[in-house]
Structure 1
Amino acid sequence: MQHLDLQVIEQALKWSKKGHSVWLCTVLRTFGSSPREPGAMMAACEQGDFIGSLSGGCVEDDFLLRLKEGEFTCFSQILRYGVQASDAKKATVALPCGGQLDVLVERFPCNEDSLQHFSTLLESLLGQQNIVRYIDLSRQKRELSDTTLPASTVEYDETKQQVTVCYGPTSRLIIAGFSTVAVFCAQYAKMLGYEVILCEHREDSLIDFAVEGVRVEPSFPADFIYQANNVHANTAIVALTHDPRIDDLAMIDAVKTSAFYIGVMGSKRTSEKRAERLKRIGGLSGEALARIHMPIGLNLGSKTPAEIALAVMADIVRVQKGATPLVT
Structure 2
Amino acid sequence: MESLDLRVLEDALQWARAGHRVELATVVQTWGSAPRPPGALLAIREDGQLSGSVSGGCVEDDLIARAKAGWNAPSTAPASPRLVVYGVDQEEAARFGLPCGGTLRLVLEPVSDTGWIEHVLQRTAAHRLVARTLDLRSGRVSCRDAVRGESLVFDGTTLTTVFGPKWRLLLIGAGQLSQAVAQIATMMDFEVLICDPREEYVCVGDLPGVQRLAGMPDDVVRELIPDAHTAIVALTHDPKLDDMALLEALKSAAFYVGALGSRRNQAARKERLAEHFGLSADELSRLHGPVGLAIGARTPAEIAVSILAEIVQVKNAAVLRAHAEPAQSSCLTSS
1:1-328 mapped onto 2 (5 Å cutoff): 1-70=1-70, 73-84=78-89, 93-96=96-99, 98-109=101-112, 114-150=113-149, 153-158=151-156, 161-227=157-223, 229-322=224-317
**Residue 22 and residue 298 in structure 1: after superposition, are their counterparts in 2 closer, same or farther (change >3 A)?**
same
Tell me by how many angstroms 1:143 deviates.
1.0
Query: How many Å separate the matches in 1 of 2:25 and 2:202?
Result: 42
Kept in 2, the 8 Å contact 1:173–1:236? The answer is yes
Query: How many Å separate the matches in 1 of 2:37 and 2:107?
Result: 13
Kept in 2, the 8 Å contact 1:134–1:164? The answer is yes
Any idea what the Cα deviations from partners look like across 1:265-309, whole Å, max 9, x if unmatched? 112222122122221122111111121111211111111111111
Q: Which amino acid is the alignment partner of residue 143 of structure 1?
A: S
Q: Which amino acid is the alignment partner of residue 39 of structure 2?
A: G
Any unmatched runs of 5+ in structure 1? none
Tell me by how many angstroms 1:157 deviates.
2.2
Tell me by how many angstroms 1:100 deviates.
3.1
Following TM superposition, the consecutive aligned residue runs of length 4 or more in structure 1 with deviations greater than 4 angstroms are: none
Kept in 1, the 8 Å contact 2:28–2:105? The answer is yes
Partner of 2:208: helix, strand, or coil? coil
Any idea what the Cα deviations from partners look like across 1:53-78, whole Å, max 9, x if unmatched? 22232222221122112277142122
Of structures 1 and 2, the one with the larger relative CO (CA 8 A, separation 6+) is 2
Kept in 1, the 8 Å contact 2:89–2:101? The answer is no
Tell me by how many angstroms 1:30 deviates.
3.0
Query: How many Å separate the matches in 1 of 2:38 and 2:268?
Result: 42
**Residue 177 and residue 280 in structure 1: after superposition, are their counterparts in 2 closer, same or farther (change >3 A)?**
same
Any idea what the Cα deviations from partners look like across 1:28-64, whole Å, max 9, x if unmatched? 2333333332222111122222211222322222211
Q: Which amino acid is the alignment partner of residue 202 of structure 2?
A: L
**Residue 261 and residue 101 in structure 1: after superposition, are their counterparts in 2 closer, same or farther (change >3 A)?**
farther
Query: How many Å separate the matches in 1 of 2:106 and 2:287?
Result: 38
Kept in 1, the 8 Å contact 2:33–2:99? The answer is no
Query: How many Å separate the matches in 2 of 1:68 and 1:221?
Result: 52
Query: How many Å separate the matches in 1 of 2:163 and 2:250?
Result: 24
TM-score scaled by length of structure 2: 0.86
Kept in 2, the 8 Å contact 1:83–1:93? The answer is no
Deviates more, 1:306-315 or 1:130-139: 130-139
Give the structure with the higher percent helix.
Answer: 2
Any idea what the Cα deviations from partners look like across 1:214-270, whole Å, max 9, x if unmatched? 00112211111011x542221111111221111111111012222111111112222
Query: How many Å separate the matches in 2 of 1:143 and 1:323?
Result: 28
Give the percent of matched residue pairs that are identical in Structure 1 and Structure 2: 39
Query: How many Å separate the matches in 1 of 2:3 and 2:88?
Result: 31
